[in-house]
Structure 1
Amino acid sequence: MKQSSTDMIGLRDIFHKIPQIAPKLPHILSGLKQAYLHGQKTPIGLAVAFEKMAQHYPERPAVLFEQQSLSYQQLNQWANQIGHYFLAQGIQKGDVIALMLSNRPEFFVSILALAKIGAIAALVNTSQSGKVLSHSIRLVQPKAVIVGDEYQQVFNAIRHELHSDAVLYWFADTETRKQSGIAPEGYLNLARCADAFPEFNTTTTKHVYAKDGLFYIYTSGTTGLPKAVIFNHGRWALAYGTYGHMLNLNCNDVLYAPLPMYHATGIVVCWCCVIAGGAALATRRKYSTSHFWQDVAKFNASALGYVGEICRYLLDAPVSEQDRQHRVSKMIGNGMRPNIWYEFKQRFGISEIMEMYASSEGNVGFSNLFNFDNTVGFSPTPFAIVQYDQEKNQLVRNAQGFCQSVQKGEVGLLIGKITKRSPFDGYTDADKNHAVILQNVFKTGDAYFNTGDLMRNLGFRHAQFVDRLGDTFRWKGENVSTAEVEGILCEHPLIHDAVVYGVEIPQTNGRAGMASITLNAGTVLAEVDLAKLWQDFKQVLPAYAVPVFLRIHEQLETTSTFKYPKQKLKNQGFDLQQSHDPILVNLPNSQTYCVLTPEIFANIQQYHYRF
């Protein structure tokens, strides 16, 4: 992607934006005060903010889902009942309860209930199954698991692998306040359990502080199985006070966010914006392009929560009268590519895109407060974009051993300075924490968090996201761990070895998965059932992690240190002129692999297929 000089930002550009920002300033200053001016023993976090809104604006709609509408008071009272119930069962501050629920009111009320009593909600990625799912749950050692009926079959397959003393709760796949259903054997019906408990606020909310855990969010990181990242109430308050107030929603706003709410973009950024303004959050179980603008109209949405892939899907859809028959004027999220930014705004009549950047585990964040195009925005937290040698996969250090910042317009590695105000809370695994902390960066004794992301310095503390370093790549709005996929592919009876990496497809966001594999001795490619191979992968991997391309090697090349030259494979991608090996592809809407021919390759390059 070529860099436009018009993306560069200077002081004059900032001055031109001040008239647009001025109306927001009272709300922004109020948020910053709440984010930063609190003591270690000041009650803070999700439950404090929600209870305040429920007290001031009880009748305002808080959550909209399908035909359901819950007010702030209703959701708060329901959460109180669940909170009182768990307290009666001996659940204490710091205890973990895992959640496996789709986007629906029961998901939000469970998180809020646990926040009130200081317990930690482990937000399980519901696209996981098998060994990955059991690993994720066992990693946080939950006292209980709350399972929605929609995931009961997937959960039952790994249930025997969990700690035997974990209590299992169940929510029917209904509007459970009206129709609680009958729990299957081995589960307690949480709707019925909590129904007799009081609706007044739990006293424990007043004893939840900044350092107390709010939830675990799972991230693939750069290698291995998913990691559980602790997200505490202080960090939530920081997001609430910054992102939440900068979008400047009010009681007349509805933010529509059909995102997976087990991710930080949905559950942190979008919900913070809504609570900060007393607005409503509208969502659906799963994103749908065909229903998107219908939902916007049904909920009368005025704002959107997004990831970049959604924006591309909407642009790919045929032009419709619905494109502008709405009151949406602003949106917040991440991953909007510069090559579609302007087109998206023009087609759908959007005036403000608050692109932001943050990671579940990181300590540095950006937000597009000044509403510039093609940027993740401005960061008030201490950070640096430093020179990085991608070929050698290492930081560039000078003769004194210190790093060097890149110049305006240049690309480097984003790192966040670790301070009292911007701490690194870390993973559950201390060894993984050590691996991402950089020491002696600009001076002896300092420490920075390595984001693993390449950024372009746009000037005036603004940046533009370029790509992810390392083995993790992003596809369909999800981070894909190559080590995890490699391990699963190598368990297939036909595959001897596999190397997984991401490759770029023209006009798409992120990188599609590609696996270079060797088949087991005696296996002939011409005799392989390609439809069954694709189905086998689909059964053991989330849809976004199933390789789009397969490159079939007789023998995988290794270096002298027995490492695979992954960068070389990435550079060659699926280009037939750079590879003499057969390459297979899973084309959009197809349920099999087929041989990649020059004609198919040309059609991919010309965007005839929409991956």
Structure 2
Amino acid sequence: MLALVVGGLGMTGVLYLLLNLWWPGWYLDWYYRRNNIKVANGIVNALSKGKFLIDIFEDFAKATPKKPFIIYNDEKLSYEYIDKKANQAGRAAMEIGIKPGSVVAIMMYNEPGIVWSYLGFMKVGYQIAFINFNLRAHSLSHSVKASGAKTLIIGEGDGLIEAVMDILPEIPDVTVYVRGKTGEEKPPSFISFDLVMSRMSTDHIDKSVRKHVLPFTPNVYIYTSGTTGLPKPAIVPHVRCLAAGCSFNVFGMTADDIIYEPLPMYHSAALLVGFGNTVTKGATMVLRDKFSATHFWEDCRKHDVTIIQYIGEVCRYLVAQPKSKLDGIHKIKYAFGNGLRQDIWAEFKNWFNIPKIIEFYGATECPIGLSNITNKLGACGRSSPYLRQFTPCAFVKFDLEAQAPLRNRNGFCVPIGPDEVGLMIVPLIEGKTSFQGYRGKKADSEKKLLYDVFQKGDKYFNTGDLLRVDKEYYVYFSDRVGDTFRWKGENVSTTEVSNILTDVDFIHDANVYGVLIPGTDGRAGMAALHLNDQSLTTLTPAMCASLSKHVTDVLPAYARPKFIRIQKELTMTSTFKQQKTSLVKEGFDVTTVTDPIFYLNPGTHTYLPLDHVVYTQIMAGKVPL
């Protein structure tokens, strides 16, 4: 008997060794696949019952009516309360004449109103465009017009009414409603949405009102700068919202969990992932109007938060706060997000006592997503040949000079090797992966596609992101390509910023790009300017003041160029495109660049000459750009 046991153990050991030789990393593949199946099962289970996010929410509103759904400013709002407000919001929208299937644009800060507005509009089958509340001037009017909405509802908060007032001549066919303001508090031309809501019944809205809604019917439009031009509304259908709402299945989120959400709800991270998973689990979300590093852990302790969401800058701000003995005291089990840099990963995890960090890779319009569920430091996912059968993607060599995938002599893309950086692309396979594109111009969607990638006739989605894949198939984010860079958790379109800069009367042309600053996430905006008056070799104080005022008035803080470089002539490629590669490499290094460079002083918000002293301070992290 003993011999049989020993023999069996020996055979098991041999099989284990053979399996490792034949399929290295099989156990990781199995673990990832098992957890991804949990996500897939959540989606399939809901769709098999004909349920989308709003149906799941209504089920929980009936099953757990008194349970807190949203905690805002320490006020606990139950599932029942939010459901009744959503019923009123949906009826109010129909009362003012919005037809089922229409687009409604909403521009609100994080507040309960954005939650019940979204839910209420889903109840009656609307498509909802979430407008970035940081936008101003032409960027804002463009976003409203691109949505196709004839109704814009703005919420409470400083600056929103003024911002919309400024663009009214550009959106003459859009009716503006205001939530949270009545009577003398709002402009006479704006209508109080609250007043209409107050007259509506809180009773359940019959599902037949939204009978036209199918899995691939657009649910929301999330704006992304993509790789070119002004913000574009990415189409997110109901099935994608459901899939995002099942993503926390990878780590077993339950109804007992409490999510802390300080990220803006106009972003897919907060809306689709944070809010979506709260709905599908029947959980609770602590909603904060905006991120605050000083109140972050205090809020988490006060509300027994178990899951936090982050972007890279959030973690860096938290690490930079004065240390406290209470920092590691909380009930958090998981931190979920993207953009956490390796240089602070371990410090963030260890100092704040975070058991597990789930770093992910994804984009609003990307057909797939990746996630790092094994605490692998710095990784945003894992993509082995086995896992690519279920989550298909490829990584190809990228020509930085041409800003396009490198092609071989046969015209096909070239896969990267281990530990190389390449462009991530996703095959578009019928019934498996799809790209819904952007609302509006077909050309905008077409720019995200690659054809004849590995063979004639194939088609791939271009993520516009460079990533590195190591020998264990872990994936690490490297950078963005094209006309977009990321700063402060936001995508910045260089084309849009260039167009805004050239509105200034003394600027002939502007070449905008992102530059690295030690100790920060993403790339800070920098612009090389060519002046109209060619006799000028630098900016005068008056020009600095004028330029500073212009970017402050028109651009959100994250999109304002932090550095300005004055060039006699802008450098061009052989195909007469603006040359960025050498400028990006040179950055704002005044020790090597002979052109005048200015920086946006964080105290005065004006452009000042950058000298060696300030340059050294910026490189040492002493100037908070």
Verify same fold: TM over 0.5. Answer: yes
**Range with greater deviation from structure 2 (278-287 or 601-610):** 601-610
SS of the equivalent of 2:110 reads coil
Which residue number in structure 1 is paired with residue 532 of structure 2?
A: 520
* Inter-CA distance 400–518: structure 2 relative to 1 (3 Å threshold): closer
Give the counterpart of 1:365 among 346, 363, 369: 369
SS of the equivalent of 1:578 reads coil
CA deviation after TM superposition for structure 1 residue 423, in Å: 0.5
Q: What letter corresponds to residue 622 of structure 2 in structure 1?
A: H
Aligned counterparts, 1:258-277, within 5 A: 258-277=262-281
Which residue number in structure 2 is paired with residue 444 of structure 1?
A: 456
Which residue number in structure 1 is paired with residue 231 of structure 2?
A: 226
Which residue number in structure 2 is paired with residue 6 of structure 1?
A: none
* Inter-CA distance 42–142: structure 2 relative to 1 (3 Å threshold): farther
CA deviation after TM superposition for structure 1 residue 63, in Å: 1.1
SS of the equivalent of 1:576 reads coil
Aligned counterparts, 1:557-572, within 5 A: 557-572=571-586
Which residue number in structure 1 is paired with residue 121 of structure 2?
A: 114
Which residue number in structure 2 is paired with residue 327 of structure 1?
A: 331
Alpha carbons 1:368, 1:377 under 8 Å: kept: yes
1:332-367 Cα deviation digits (max 9, x unpaired): 111111121111101110111111111111112112
Give the counterpart of 1:33 among 22, 37, 41: 41
Alpha carbons 1:370, 1:377 under 8 Å: kept: no
Aligned counterparts, 1:332-351, within 5 A: 332-351=336-355
Q: What letter corresponds to residue 153 of structure 2 in structure 1?
A: I
Alpha carbons 2:109, 2:156 under 8 Å: kept: no
CA deviation after TM superposition for structure 1 residue 94, in Å: 2.5
Alpha carbons 1:244, 1:274 under 8 Å: kept: no
Aligned counterparts, 1:177-196, within 5 A: 184-195=187-198, 196=200
* Inter-CA distance 230–66: structure 2 relative to 1 (3 Å threshold): same
Aligned counterparts, 1:116-515, within 5 A: 116-150=123-157, 151-164=160-173, 166-172=174-180, 184-195=187-198, 196-203=200-207, 204-205=209-210, 207-241=212-246, 243-378=247-382, 380-419=390-429, 420-428=431-439, 429-458=441-470, 462-515=474-527
Alpha carbons 1:418, 1:447 under 8 Å: kept: yes
1:449-479 Cα deviation digits (max 9, x unpaired): 0001001113565411110011200001100
Alpha carbons 1:356, 1:377 under 8 Å: kept: yes
CA deviation after TM superposition for structure 1 residue 91, in Å: 2.9
* Inter-CA distance 202–333: structure 2 relative to 1 (3 Å threshold): farther
**Range with greater deviation from structure 2 (189-198 or 215-224):** 189-198
Alpha carbons 2:400, 2:581 under 8 Å: kept: no
Alpha carbons 1:98, 1:121 under 8 Å: kept: yes
Alpha carbons 1:410, 1:456 under 8 Å: kept: yes
Distance across 1 between alignment mates of 2:203 and 2:447: 45
CA deviation after TM superposition for structure 1 residue 315, in Å: 1.1
CA deviation after TM superposition for structure 1 residue 12, in Å: 6.6
Aligned residues: 590
Give the counterpart of 2:70 among 57, 63, 75: 63
Q: What letter corresponds to residue 230 of structure 2 in structure 1?
A: L
CA deviation after TM superposition for structure 1 residue 180, in Å: 10
1:198-240 Cα deviation digits (max 9, x unpaired): 3214323555221111111111122211111111101111222
CA deviation after TM superposition for structure 1 residue 159, in Å: 1.7
1:404-446 Cα deviation digits (max 9, x unpaired): 3222222111001112221110012211121211112122222
Alpha carbons 2:46, 2:52 under 8 Å: kept: no
Distance across 2 between alignment mates of 1:181 and 1:208: 39
CA deviation after TM superposition for structure 1 residue 13, in Å: 6.0
**Range with greater deviation from structure 2 (408-417 or 601-610):** 601-610
Q: What letter corresponds to residue 499 of structure 2 in structure 1?
A: G
User: TM (normalized to structure 2)?
Assistant: 0.88
Computed over aligned residues only, the root mean square deviation of the Cα atoms, in angstroms, reads 2.6
Which residue number in structure 2 is paired with residue 584 of structure 1?
A: 598
SS of the equivalent of 1:577 reads coil
**Range with greater deviation from structure 2 (218-227 or 585-594):** 585-594
Which residue number in structure 1 is paired with residue 7 of structure 2?
A: none
Alpha carbons 1:94, 1:212 under 8 Å: kept: no
Distance across 1 between alignment mates of 2:184 and 2:40: 44
CA deviation after TM superposition for structure 1 residue 531, in Å: 4.5
Alpha carbons 2:71, 2:284 under 8 Å: kept: yes
Alpha carbons 1:249, 1:276 under 8 Å: kept: no
CA deviation after TM superposition for structure 1 residue 299, in Å: 2.6
Distance across 2 between alignment mates of 1:450 and 1:481: 17
Distance across 1 between alignment mates of 2:42 and 2:601: 49
1:608 aligns with 2:622: yes
Distance across 2 between alignment mates of 1:394 and 1:190: 47
CA deviation after TM superposition for structure 1 residue 508, in Å: 0.6
CA deviation after TM superposition for structure 1 residue 303, in Å: 1.5
Structure 1, unmatched stretches of 5+, are: 1-9, 174-178
Alpha carbons 1:80, 1:202 under 8 Å: kept: no
**Range with greater deviation from structure 2 (596-605 or 117-126):** 596-605
Alpha carbons 1:148, 1:172 under 8 Å: kept: yes
Alpha carbons 1:415, 1:450 under 8 Å: kept: yes
Which residue number in structure 1 is paired with residue 4 of structure 2?
A: none
**Range with greater deviation from structure 2 (503-512 or 268-277):** 268-277
* Inter-CA distance 112–422: structure 2 relative to 1 (3 Å threshold): same
Q: What letter corresponds to residue 570 of structure 1 in structure 2?
A: V
SS of the equivalent of 1:157 reads helix
Distance across 1 between alignment mates of 2:278 and 2:214: 22
Q: Which has the higher contact order (CA 8 A, sep 6+)?
A: 1
**Percent identity between the aligned chains?**
36
**Range with greater deviation from structure 2 (337-346 or 316-325):** 316-325
* Inter-CA distance 528–358: structure 2 relative to 1 (3 Å threshold): same
Alpha carbons 2:100, 2:210 under 8 Å: kept: no
* Inter-CA distance 563–18: structure 2 relative to 1 (3 Å threshold): closer
SS of the equivalent of 2:273 reads helix
Alpha carbons 1:441, 1:448 under 8 Å: kept: yes
CA deviation after TM superposition for structure 1 residue 11, in Å: 6.8
1:73 aligns with 2:80: yes
Distance across 2 between alignment mates of 1:66 and 1:324: 23
Distance across 1 between alignment mates of 2:263 and 2:331: 20
